[in-house]
Structure 1
Amino acid sequence: MPRPRSLTPDRIASAALTVIDRDGLTGFTMRAVAAELAMSAMALYRYIDDRGELERLVVERVLDGIDVSPPDPKLPWAARVTLLLRRMRAAVAAHPAVAPLVPVHRHRSAAVLRWTETVLGLLTEAGLTGERRVLALRALLGYLLGAIQLEHLGPLAGAGTAALAELAPQAYPHLADTARTARHIDPDAEFDGGLALLLRGLTAPPD
């Protein structure tokens, strides 16, 4: 039996995102999404195959609005890459509970594929090809996704950093001092600063 057309993928994704924003991933169930759509869980399966497909729709919904066009070519390549990573960070930060789903489904997201193609173009312009381009892309993705999760979901965010700052300096002199400093660094400055270090390393002459 063909699926009814009254419920679009975008509407399903919107309902799922509402559930995640409100209840987090722990409350993200097929039943909860179905309730948000005023239908039964069994009826929802007429539109999607499983939770994995629902997660993919959510990731696509969150990231679809990212501007994937290359930034101003007059800017240095590192500044252009930084702008692209900021765009992805801002999109995920608007729905931080979705952050763990992005690494899982990024290969199936058309938005991420377009964004990645633009980043690879900039890396190529910077002279990174072959294996170095692979390593550069994965390093950037690892930094971006890790930074997002640390900022919004990790134990170093907020109270976690404050707790580390109170560690006994005799036992953890470097960790306690670093945490005390971290408490005064703006999240945007922290993200941009770490990314700047990474980008400088990417174009350093190989050993």
Structure 2
Amino acid sequence: MTRAEQIADILRGRIATGRLGPGDAVPSTRAIMRDHNVAMATASRVLVLLQDDGLIESTPGRGSVVRAADGVGSAVLTRDRVIATAMSIADAEGLGAVSMRRLASTLDIPTMALYRYVPSREELELAMLDSVMGEVDLRPQTGDWRVDLHGSCMAMWRSMVAHPWFAGALSMTRPASMPNAMPLAERMLGCLHAAGLDPVQAFTDYLCLLNLIRGLGSTLEPELADRAETGLDNDEWMDARVGELRRIAPESTHPNMARIMEVGYPYDVDVLLESGLRRFLDGIQTRLV
């Protein structure tokens, strides 16, 4: 990276974080020379790079200023709108479809203009995850720990169903800092404490429940993609392959598999979740009796 590119990155960061907003003057060539101890050619190159990015423009009498986003007034395009648009793309096509270039194209702004609202692709994804957590609809508590805990789990599940990419993007081993995740965590832990669990066991069961929900949620996006590609839902796909399953698991050696193939299994991820939650909560309740 050249010295001009390094300085341009510093100024991009100021624009991305809002320290320099639309219409604000950016450092002049002389100011860049003085502040960064570089030659005039290097300082001039810095401004050219920012102009090429669509981040600044020359204004008579003012020099170079931060440019407002093309096609969208600065009062209209906000960070929230950028994040919401990214989520819409992910909901329709998967998280992998959300690139900075694709997002900028959808918003009809230069790609580099996005960095005024989100400094990086990584921060965009984190903001999307936090936004989904902010949609988790926690209902008023009833005072019954089991009812309230079940309701909290189902609230998170509804958000996963609404955003199929969400579960796969969550890390349970190295979780990101998401302010909007805290109300759900506090509610679930409070329910587990109300059930009589100590702080360590409560947090253990909290993580187990999250992993149960996330694990089933991570099947949503791949299933939608497979359905779009094959035109078959899960049951239709399995029906087309039951003959192959019988071949590799004949009744003579796999009688238990043969039983379920005989009666058929109506796959439903909501049924799996409800069954898993019920049995998990039964286990907590039984232990407390």
Inter-CA distance 41–164: structure 2 relative to 1 (3 Å threshold): same
- Give me the whole-angstrom Cα distance separating, in 2, the residues matched to 1:120 and 1:61: 21
- Give me the whole-angstrom Cα distance separating, in 1, the residues matched to 2:111 and 2:145: 48
Aligned residue for 1:114, secondary structure, equals helix
**Structural mapping, 1:76-155, within 5 Å:** 76-103=144-171, 107-153=176-222
What is the alpha-carbon root mean square deviation over aligned residues? Answer: 2.9
The superposition leaves residues 83-136 of structure 1 with CA deviations (integer Å, 9 ceiling, x where unpaired) of: 111111101201212321233786422221111101100000001113211211
Aligned residue for 2:130, secondary structure, equals helix
Is this contact kept in 1: 2:83–2:124, CA < 8 A? yes
TM-score (norm 2): 0.61
1:198 matched to 2:243? The reply is no
Inter-CA distance 126–188: structure 2 relative to 1 (3 Å threshold): same
- Give me the whole-angstrom Cα distance separating, in 1, the residues matched to 2:150 and 2:140: 11
Q: In structure 2, give the amino acid aligned to 1:158.
A: N
Which residue of the partner structure matches residue 30 of structure 1?
A: 100
Q: In structure 2, give the amino acid aligned to 1:19.
A: I
> Which of the pair has more CA radius of gyration?
2
Q: In structure 2, give the amino acid aligned to 1:97.
A: W
Is this contact kept in 2: 1:99–1:149, CA < 8 A? yes
Say which structure, 1 or 2, has more relative contact order (CA 8 Å, 6+ apart): 1
Aligned residue for 1:108, secondary structure, equals coil
Is this contact kept in 2: 1:67–1:87, CA < 8 A? yes
Q: 13-22 or 99-108: which moved more?
A: 99-108
TM-score (norm 1): 0.82
Unaligned ranges ≥5, structure 2: 1-14, 23-73, 227-232
Q: In structure 1, give the amino acid aligned to 2:127.
A: L
Inter-CA distance 45–198: structure 2 relative to 1 (3 Å threshold): same
Cα drift, residue 65 of structure 1: 2.2
Is this contact kept in 1: 2:133–2:181, CA < 8 A? yes
Inter-CA distance 161–59: structure 2 relative to 1 (3 Å threshold): farther
Is this contact kept in 2: 1:3–1:47, CA < 8 A? no
1:42 matched to 2:112? The reply is yes
Is this contact kept in 2: 1:31–1:41, CA < 8 A? yes
Cα drift, residue 19 of structure 1: 1.5
Which residue of the partner structure matches residue 57 of structure 1?
A: 127
- Give me the whole-angstrom Cα distance separating, in 1, the residues matched to 2:184 and 2:197: 17
Q: In structure 1, give the amino acid aligned to 2:191.
A: L
